[in-house]
Structures are given as structure tokens and as C-alpha cells.
Structure 1
Amino acid sequence: MGYVSGIVVYVMIWWVVLFCVLPFGMPREFEEQGPNTAPGAPPFTNMKNKIIITSLLALVLWGVADLIISSDLISFREMANE
């Protein structure tokens, strides 16, 4: 896998993992908040932790994807020729 395609694959994996990680740690029922707060807004998001977790999980998944692609375990070129 080349540099550009590796970066593109990592970014795609990163976004998918982010959307999977976002709901974790959110309270199910929100308590009464202040008068200037949207009713569906969570009281806290912990985005810094979620970004770090997302980046680490995406790195591991990207490593697995790179290993599969580089070792020709699944040959995409053969699939395209069929």
C-alpha cells in the first residue's frame, strides 16, 4: 500500500471508529440543565479521551488492514480480473 492510499484508508477507518466510540460514556437520561442549554445536549462529552481512543483503535485496525493487503492474503487484483 502506498503512502497516499495508506493515509486515505486510515482516515476512513478513523471516522468509522469515531462514530462507534462517540456514544460510550454518555448518560442515558439527562438531568435538568440550565435555561440556555439545549434539551438534548449532553452535560459533558469527554471528546479528548474519545479522540485518543479513536486514534489508537484506528491505528490497530489500519495495521491489520495493511497486513492483509501487503501479504496478499486477500488479493484484490485477482478479484478485479475475475
Structure 2
Amino acid sequence: MSISAAIVLFAVCWFMVFFIVLPLRLTTQGEAGSVVPGTPQGAPAGFVVRRKALITTIAAAVIWAVIYVVITQGWVTVRDLDVMGRMPPAVQTD
């Protein structure tokens, strides 16, 4: 796996985990009882992005490491994902 592919894989993992972590333990302004004029009641109250980004980075690093090992060890290849059988047969080298 090239360095650019590894960076792209980490970025994809990071953003997917970030969108999962964002709504966790979220308190809305309506629930807190203090709605700022001009904002909806569903807007976050006291939103802490730094903590969520740190949690996301740690979780994404673990997920990325697992996927990296699976790809580099060859446990899952592109041919394993070819369910339609459109790829030519693998070339055997002895």
C-alpha cells in the first residue's frame, strides 16, 4: 500500500467515525433550556469539538490499523470481492 493510499484510507476512516461520534452525548439548546435567539432548539449547547475529534482520531487509528494489516497481509484481495467473476484468472508464478 502506498503512502497516499494509506493517508486516504485514514481520512475515510476518520470522517466515517467522526459522523458516528458527533451525535453521541449531545445536549441540545432546547434540552438545556437556554435557546440563543436566531438558532433552532435542536442546535447543540456547549458543543466540544476538540474532545470529539480526539475520540475520533483514536478510534479511527485503531480501525485504520486493522484494515491496513488485512490489506497488506493479503487476507482480502480484490479478487475476493469480484462476485460477478469479471476479473481474469490470477497468474501463477512458481
* TM-score w.r.t. length of structure 1: 0.84
Deviations 1:26-65 (A, max 9, x none): 1376233245251221111121110000011101100000
1:30–1:42: 8 Å Cα contact kept in structure 2?
no
Identify which of 52, 68, 73 aligns with 2:70: 68
Identify the residue that residue 19 of structure 1 maps to in structure 2: 19
1:30 alignment partner, SS class? helix
Identify which of 54, 58, 61 aligns with 1:59: 61
CA–CA separation in structure 2 for the residues paired with 1:49 and 1:37: 26
Identify the residue that residue 44 of structure 1 maps to in structure 2: 46
- For the aligned residue pairs, the C-alpha RMSD in angstroms reads 1.9
Identify the residue that residue 92 of structure 2 maps to in structure 1: none
Question: Rg larger in 1 or in 2?
Answer: 2
| Off by >4 Å, runs of 4+ in structure 1 | none
CA–CA separation in structure 2 for the residues paired with 1:73 and 1:34: 52
* TM-score w.r.t. length of structure 2: 0.75
In structure 1, runs of 5+ residues without a counterpart are: none
Query: Identical aligned pairs, as a percentage?
Result: 25
| Structure number with higher relative contact order (C-alpha < 8 Å, ≥ 6 residues apart) | 1
